[in-house]
Structure 1
Amino acid sequence: MLHIRRATRSDARAAFDIRLHAIRQQCKAVYTDAQVMAWTCVPLTEKYRAWVAKDYYVACVSDRPVATGVINLDSGELEAIFVLPGFMGQGIGKKMIHFLEQLAREAGLAQVHLEATLNAQAFYQRCGFTAGAQAIYHSPSGLQLACVPMRKQLVDGA
């Protein structure tokens, strides 16, 4: 059974591995091997552990973390939506999106937004997001990747 909960510091390794495997499995179809390796060949840092403990949610199956997600309730930005490859296609990512959207609604946000990887654009569109023009994502590590800014209205007329 799937349940979503706030992550703890002890979830950092699992969250890091989910991210790593999801990127390497799904993003290789639209980004170069060099981009994927530069994106994923980074160590698990203390800064990342702190971010997981502060902002992450994990979706668990039988208490095993299999997906991650983050929402910034100040800006409405969704981030770090990753699903472990063996659990993709089971609706877990969509459930994480709905969970984060509910947190946004409860916080009074009228819309949410994200920067989708090129391979994930269709997924987010199926979740009700509208795509903007392709742009460039500038990662904190200096990596630049093509992305698609996307938005979703949570409140009619907003």
Structure 2
Amino acid sequence: MINLRPVTISDVKDILRIHYAAVHGLATSTFYSQNVLESWSPSPTNERRLKQFHQAIQDNTEIIMVAESTETGIIMGFGSVVPSQQELRAVYVDPTFARRGVGTKIITSLEELAVHHGAHKLHLDASLNAESFYCRHGYSIVERAIHRLNSGIDMECIKMSKELHLH
């Protein structure tokens, strides 16, 4: 079983570990160069990254949810949304727990939270390897584009969007 809950400061190391594992996993590395992967997700112990996540949690500008196993308490994935900007930031699942409905549970929850906070639509810059996941969840391709990482390195992405409706 999967429990979804808001992120806490004590989850940051797990989130960075999951982000690194997901980004550097086999599926992603077939689409992007090592240079892009390292820029997108540096080491999970990178101090700047730790500070960024701590700041995001404290600022409360984006809603970050974690999915944890009800049996073990292990964090299996996370996602974030910024309702005020109608932006889905991310859905990442630890490759160990891939294809078990974790990502679906996260994205469904984030969409419901976005609607609850007044968003009627969500947009995102999806990585090439995640295109099919977002398409399966009702997102449409707007255009193929370039996403500039914080490091200044460009990576190919797919701009996608979805109209949100109350269920």
User: What is the distance in 2 between the residues matched to 1:144 and 1:61?
Assistant: 35
Report how far residue 155 of structure 1 moved: 3.0
User: Which residue in 2 is equivalent to 1:48?
Assistant: 53
Which deviates more, 147-156 or 91-100? 147-156
Which deviates more, 87-96 or 51-60? 51-60
Is 1:57 equivalent to 2:65 in the alignment? yes
Matched position secondary structure for 1:131: strand
Normalising by structure 2, what TM-score?
A: 0.87
Please tell me whether the aligned partners of residues 13 and 50 of structure 2 are also in contact (alpha carbons under 8 angstroms): no
User: Which residue in 2 is equivalent to 1:94?
Assistant: 104
**Deviations 1:90-110 (CA, angstroms, capped at 9, x unpaired):** 111011110000011112221
Letter in 2 for 1:48: F
User: What is the distance in 2 between the residues matched to 1:78 and 1:85?
Assistant: 20
User: Which residue in 2 is equivalent to 1:9?
Assistant: 9
Which of 115, 118, 123 is equivalent to 2:128? 118
Is 1:31 equivalent to 2:39 in the alignment? no
Q: How many residues align?
A: 156
User: What is the distance in 1 between the residues matched to 2:37 and 2:52?
Assistant: 21
User: What is the distance in 1 between the residues matched to 2:91 and 2:153?
Assistant: 18
Unaligned runs of 5+ in 2: none
Unaligned runs of 5+ in 1: none
Matched position secondary structure for 1:132: strand
Report how far residue 13 of structure 1 moved: 0.2
Please tell me whether the aligned partners of residues 7 and 57 of structure 2 are also in contact (alpha carbons under 8 angstroms): yes
Q: Among the aligned pairs, what percent are the same residue?
A: 29
